[in-house]
Amino acid sequence: MQGTLREHCGLFGIYDKSKLGSIASTVYYGLFALQHRGQESAGIAVNRDREITLIKDTGLVSDVFKRYDLSALEGEFAIGHTCANADAKDDVTNAQPVTVKYHKGHLTVAHNGNIANAKALRDALESKGAIFHSTNNPAEIICHLIARARLHTATIEEAVAKVVPLLKGSFSLLIMSPCKLIALRDPLGLRPLCIGKIGDSILFSSESCGLETVGATFERDLKAGEMVVVTPDEIYSDERFCSACSALCIFEHIYLARPDSVVDGQSVNEARINAGKLLARQNPVDADLVIGVPDSGVSSAIGYATESGIPYGVGLIKNRYIGRTFIQPTQAMRERSVALKLNALDSNVKGKRIVMVDDSIVRGTTLKNIVKLIKKAGAKEVHVRISSPQFLYPCYFGTDIPDRDQLACNRYTVEQLRQNLDADSLSFLELDSVEQIAPCSKIGFCKACFDGKYPCAVDDTVDESLID
């Protein structure tokens, strides 16, 4: 899965009821643990005595905040965001959180997911005279909607509740008003969001690994559709949008989430091992070594090795120092750009029949270069095993793939694709078995990218009568 699932951001928040202090630093460490969910921009907003301080910029968490003395930035509650939106790479107006001033003071929103009807919402707002500073920032749209809804509601949470029906798509949200912190997961539960505690302080994180990093106890995942409201006096849950059908994006288990996270009851690492085991049963091959494409293919490769009895080994070394600021390869190096990131471990693969496990095929170009690397290192055979089904349908809830023509699995048969990759065999996880990788999951899955069955309407429309 080579850099294509772009809309998977990271959220982290805290309402520091136990007065632990170091609030901005805690959010910083939490975001740092969620850095894999978005490397384009980062931001932290802290509420102190009803005043907001917002720091955000393009770049990695460790770059954005190095100029600031976060230890001096105290407050009662705070939220942070790491962003994978490509439009936030160079344009800070598209970074999050978004903080605005409106008739009730200030309002801060951070969003993870993809609003499928974003354009329709924006058009509807503009037709009422709204102005936008960003070119593509769902949090700014949500700010507009909340500000308008708040005109006719008694509380911020009621305003948020008026906005939820307007949003089509995936959205985990953290929202701050001058004295409340609200966490919300969309009715389908497409993106994860969990809650933790340190003493009486309440924390929210996109993944459980964020809680663990800052020393918080994991309490539970938010239910699909649940809104948790934290005020100075209480914390309560509003379940009006919860429903029976739920649909966590299965790519969270396949690729997006960190393996040490547990999402909706399912260990991500175990899901990947399970995928590898299923793959071995469904697509066995006579071989000498199983290797994984780092980082997301490794757990599945170990699963494949365990099930098949073929030894597991390291076949590819990843250069850990590739960063945002890496200088663009020269023409001469462009065709070698995979070489900058990955190198084959000749001593392990030479003369061997290799099973190479990767998580998915979107465009397929990088994978072709990797097969080439392994063959050049002396592998006799390379059998590619993909720990997910064929990616056939566009995703409206979190990728930037514009149309089906760019999906390799749509353009080629498996045999054509195998030839294209110059692999000795190629097979995918069977579509029927994909949910078996997550037997412990407490909620259902969206697998629309594999089967085309979208869990909700994805048309870019809006019922304007609902906008105040």
Closest distance of CB 409 from a copy of itself, Å:
28
* Two structure tokens written together for 322: 């590739």
Residue 255: DSSP 8-state: I
Closest distance of CB 191 from a copy of itself, Å:
21
**Which residue, 32 or 397, is less far from a copy of itself as judged by CB?**
32
The residue range among 180-188, 233-241, 331-339, 423-431 that interacts with a copy of itself, by the rule CB under 8 A, is 331-339
Active-site residue, selected from the candidate residues 9, 395, 446, 449: 9
Looking at the DSSP assignment, which residues form a beta bridge with residue 43? 56, 81
Smallest CA-to-CA distance from 297 within 332, 257, 254, 264 is with 254
Closest distance of CB 266 from a copy of itself, Å:
9
Count Cβ atoms below 10 Å from residue 400 Cβ, excluding itself. 15
- Count residues binding a copy of itself (CB under 8 A): 84
**Which residue, 257 or 429, is less far from a copy of itself as judged by CB?**
257
Binding residue for a copy of itself, selected from 131, 402, 403, 465, defined by CB under 8 A = 131
Smallest CA-to-CA distance from 143 within 105, 192, 92, 194 is with 105
113 contacts a copy of itself (rule: CB under 8 A): no
Binding residue for a copy of itself, selected from 243, 319, 406, 416, defined by CB under 8 A = 319
29 contacts a copy of itself (rule: CB under 8 A): yes
Closest distance of CB 91 from a copy of itself, Å:
10
Binding residue for a copy of itself, selected from 148, 185, 418, 447, defined by CB under 8 A = 148
**Which residue, 152 or 240, is less far from a copy of itself as judged by CB?**
152
Identify residues 259-318 at the interface with a copy of itself (CB under 8 A).
259-260, 262, 267, 269-270, 295, 298-299, 302, 306, 311-314, 317
Binding residue for a copy of itself, selected from 322, 351, 419, 432, defined by CB under 8 A = 322
Binding residue for a copy of itself, selected from 217, 236, 281, 326, defined by CB under 8 A = 326
- 3-class state of residue 26 by DSSP: helix
Range list of β-strands (E), 232-380 = 235-238, 248-249, 262-263, 266-267, 289-292, 316-318, 342-344, 353-358
Closest distance of CB 102 from a copy of itself, Å:
5
For tokens 């694709």, the residue is 417
Residues 28-32: contacts with CB within 8 Å, 24+ apart?
28/61, 28/65, 28/70, 28/80, 29/213, 29/214, 30/80, 30/203, 30/205, 30/210, 30/211, 30/213, 30/214, 31/61, 31/80, 31/81, 31/82, 31/210, 32/61, 32/62, 32/213
Which uninterrupted H or E stretch holds 445? strand 445-446
Count Cβ atoms below 10 Å from residue 57 Cβ, excluding itself. 16
The residue range among 179-187, 325-333, 364-372, 451-459 that interacts with a copy of itself, by the rule CB under 8 A, is 325-333
466 contacts a copy of itself (rule: CB under 8 A): no
Identify residues 33-72 at the interface with a copy of itself (CB under 8 A).
33, 35-36, 60-63, 65-66, 70-71
Cα dist. 301→268, 292, 362 in Å?
14, 5, 19
Written as one letter, the residue type at 93 is: T
Identify residues 365-424 at the interface with a copy of itself (CB under 8 A).
none
Which uninterrupted H or E stretch holds 10? strand 10-15
333 contacts a copy of itself (rule: CB under 8 A): yes
Catalytic-residue membership of 209? no
132 contacts a copy of itself (rule: CB under 8 A): yes
238 contacts a copy of itself (rule: CB under 8 A): no
Identify residues 193-232 at the interface with a copy of itself (CB under 8 A).
209, 212-215
Give every CB contact of residue 385 below 8 A, 6+ residues apart in sequence.
279, 280, 283, 285, 304, 355, 356, 357, 358, 426, 427
Give catalytic residue positions.
Answer: 9
